[in-house]
Amino acid sequence: MSYLFDLEIARGRREDLLREARERRIARALRKARRNVREAGRGVTRELEGVEVNWGLAEEEPAVADLLELNGVPRWVAFEERFIVAQKNGKVLGAVRYRMESKRLLLGLLVVDPWVGEERMALALYRGAGDLAREIGAGEVMASVSQADYPGRAGYRRRGRSSRLDVTQGSRPGGRQRLLGMFDALSIPLLRTFRR
């Protein structure tokens, strides 16, 4: 009888050890993933350091037209619209269409060089647009929502069909800004529930 009891204790102990080993493996994989994400974030920031974002000039229109053509948009758009451009070493790598309203900068079509990487250039352009808006005294920047949510990752808060950046608060997303954004996103469905 004692032998069966010892066997049950050994089985229970073995299951506990296996469970702990699984948890340690999962924790190790999670630590590794977090470390990779941190390093990738630093890499994107490092790569953005050499990128200059400024208002598009007449000399840059042919380069913007080439980017538009690479992305399947007619070339003539570059000569009819105004763009904010991202340059590195004097070469135009990305552009975002803009227009001005009273105390507001509206961002539209985003085009980037496909070989450079859309994510890096989009983040640089949306962050740079906030800095440019601050320079001219605009109160907010509105960006049309994209599938990849680059404006959200650049610190913009989603508002219906567009994302909004309050220029007076800064363009970098902080913990408080993320928390408020989360509550804004949660409040919309709740508000609809109480209206009925």
| Residue 156 three-state SS | coil
> 19: alpha, beta or left, given left = phi > 0 and alpha = psi -120 to 50?
alpha
Task: Say what the pLDDT of residue 188 is.
Answer: 47
Task: Say what the pLDDT of residue 85 is.
Answer: 93
Q: Does position 36 have pLDDT exceeding 70, yes or no?
A: yes
Q: Does position 187 have pLDDT exceeding 60, yes or no?
A: no
Task: Say what the pLDDT of residue 15 is.
Answer: 92
Contact 156, 165 (CB under 8 A): yes
Split at pLDDT 50, 70, 90, the class of 28 is confident
Q: Which residues, other chains included, contact 43 with Cβ-Cβ below 8 Å and sequence gap of 6+?
A: none
- For 137, phi and psi rounded to 5 degrees? 90, 20
Contact 86, 129 (CB under 8 A): no
DSSP codes joined into one string, 131-153: HHHHHHT-SEEEEE--TT-HHHH
C-alpha to C-alpha distance for 6 and 74, rounded to whole angstroms: 79
C-alpha to C-alpha distance for 116 and 38, rounded to whole angstroms: 21
User: What pLDDT digit, counting tens, does each position of 123-150 carry?
Assistant: 889 888 888 888 888 888 888 866 677 7
Split at pLDDT 50, 70, 90, the class of 169 is low
Instruction: Say what the pTM is.
Output: 0.61
User: Mean pLDDT: which of 29-33, 107-111, 157-161 is highest?
Assistant: 107-111
Contact 157, 177 (CB under 8 A): yes
Range from 18-22, 55-59, 191-195 carrying the lowest mean pLDDT: 191-195
Name the average pLDDT for the chain. 78
Contact 130, 141 (CB under 8 A): yes
Task: Say what the pLDDT of residue 102 is.
Answer: 83
Contact 167, 136 (CB under 8 A): no
